[in-house]
Chain A
Amino acid sequence: MTRALAAALPRPAFLGEVAKLPAFLRRDFLVAWSYRVGFFSDIASLIAQMLVFFFIGKMIDSSSLPEYGGVHPSYLEFVTIGVVLNAFVQVALSRTADALRTEQMIGTLEALMTTPTATATIQLGSAVFDLVYMPLRLVVFLVFMTVAVGIDVEISGGLPSLVVLIAFLPFVWGLGLAAAAAILTFRRGGGVIAVGTMLLGLASGAFFPLDLLPAWIAAAAEYNPLAIAIEGFRDALLGGTGWSGVGDHLVLLFPISTLSIIGGSVLFHLALSRERRRGTLGLY
């Protein structure tokens, strides 16, 4: 088979699209690396935040916190898991939502849309760097807290936590797509996303036990995917419960994540079709 003929043969569309994702990853890494100060200040701000909780933790009796694997964690251990996952949602959600908006603002969206690339690939591609970077950032931060501050983390809980994170990721992405649809349509949405993530965080048990909330909110919060993911992480990493501790959380997370990604994709597709129909895709 000649090279020309091989090149002329159509590649399976799905694989062809997947093969384009590393291009986005490289692009966004190079852009992020060109802002080195931002790269490191991001981690520094997270560490500064933890210093605040370190001192707050000195006032809190650990027996008032829930047990994980039969042990009461310290407040710093308790809140570290909550803060990293909450920060993960905040950043991943806003960046997924803003991915196409950013392309629109810097003027590259139409150039991308005139390439033979599926819209879903452009959307995912524009967020893929953050979807890879954010979990890495989470892991790096947990390692830092373990080594530098001495929080007690069960190494055996690493893999189950990772699976919880993988099950949780489509929920964030779906929510991001829905937010992206709103931003494409209304050209604004940062404020709504900020309020939404704050409410999600408030009812997640990230900073304090859910029992402290009014009973009806606490009952509803049991189904908050962020709360489920945080509890899964705490069970695995603080309680050392292994796979048995995360099973229940995964059973809840998978359907919610599936619904989120399907709903978000439909809304995003509708918003994009509307923009195309109106001819306002490149306008901001």
Chain B
Amino acid sequence: MTPSFAIRVPPGAADLPGRADETRSPLRAAPEPAALEAASVTRRFGDVLALDGVSLAVTRGEVHALLGPNGAGKTTLLRAFTGLVAPTSGAVRVIGRDASRADRWLRALTGFVPSGDRTFYLRLSGYENLKFFARLHALPRRDRTARTLTTLERVGLADSAHRPVSTYSHGMQKRLSLARALLMNPSVMLIDEATHDLDPAASSEVRSVVEELAQEGTAILWATQRIDEIRGFASSVTLLAEGRVRFAGSVQELMARADAPRFVLGVRSTGGVDAEALNATLGGSATIAPVDAQHVLLTLGPETLLGDAMCAMTRAGAAVVSCNRERSEIEQAFVALTAGAGE
């Protein structure tokens, strides 16, 4: 039987959206404000402009990807939502309340998974670490142990719960960090590079846990530079580069921003690949560029189908034996939209 845990609700927060208020009143008449909202947020560190007029909104139950290369400002924005960094100008709100005031009650409703590895007491076990943070969250004594163990189990660390954290791998520490954020069934989750050190299977498990949370109504802001993981996972994306929003919309809309698709084709041809002849055959509907003796790079025109281009090549004596997309649509859009960043 799954234990149930009541969540302490901050005074004045009973009418606000989020998971905590569901234990109080199932009725909500007022329209929902965004669970996480940044409005024209600018943050300057000396001469460096880390965030430049960034706006975004995340509603409850939504997984919002915050995508961007290194130094884009993702971590700074997440830290602004936790109250660890105050914006130079603009507003950050969590569940309608000013996050820059680092309101203690708000912190009780916010789960944060920082990007760093070393955020635990390495000499203590994972269980002792979580229990310590559970006490700081004022989890009642009667629920503390059960809740700690259940959460460790949820992130797949039950077997190593009593080992010192110093013996944990990076991936295990990341999962422990996720467990800490999950302890109080947060209304909003701020997750910074959660899958950075994880293998594909572990990454998938973490995303599954986060998806479950979103289905339960938690608003998720997921910062990442792993562009491959947001398809089928995030419902909306904000792409940051050099502290500025380069794109905001759905994942599908981001994919539509990709440049013309390019494929690396393995080609078997007697006498080698004649790119010039193949281009002449394609008549401008697509272009071929040689990669090496057995491979060419095919760039499709806007109206050209991949199958038609390959048929034309086969007819011209170049049998296509393999076909791989050079980059995913999201990766292409990412590259196109962040072009020039960091130069």
Contacts and interface: CB of A to CB of B under 8 A. Distances in A.
Q: Are the chains A and B members of one assembly?
A: yes
Interface of A: 3-4, 7-11, 16, 19-20, 22-23, 26-27, 30-31, 34-35, 106-108, 110-118, 276-279, 281-282
Contact of A279 (B76, B104, B116, B133): B76
B119 A110 contact: yes
A110 B79 CA distance: 9
Interface in B117-156: 117-124, 128, 132-133, 135-138, 140
Which of B45, B79, B104 has most chain A Cβ within 10 Å? B104
A276 B86 contact: yes
Contacts of A114: 82-84, 107, 110, 112
A30 B165 CA distance: 13
25 contacts: A4-B6, A7-B7, A8-B7, A8-B23, A9-B8, A10-B8, A10-B10, A10-B11, A19-B138, A31-B121, A34-B123, A34-B164, A106-B118, A108-B118, A110-B79, A110-B119, A114-B82, A114-B110, A115-B133, A115-B137, A116-B104, A116-B105, A276-B84, A276-B85, A277-B86
B124 A110 contact: no
Determine the interface band of chain B, counting residues with CB < 8 A from chain A: 35 or more
A115 B114 CA distance: 13
Which of A7, A8, A10 has most chain B Cβ within 10 Å? A7
A30 B128 contact: yes
B84 A7 contact: no
B43 interface: yes
B64 to A, nearest CB: 19
B138 A16 contact: yes
- B contact patch SS: loop
B119 A8 contact: no
Contacts of B82: 110, 114
Contacts of A19: 138
- A contact patch SS: helix
A107 B164 CA distance: 16
A268 B270 CA distance: 79
Which of B9, B79, B117, B138 has most chain A Cβ within 10 Å? B138
Given A10-B10, A116-B137, A118-B104, A27 B132 contact: yes
A270 to B, nearest CB: 15
B93 interface: no
B343 to A, nearest CB: 25
B170 to A, nearest CB: 13
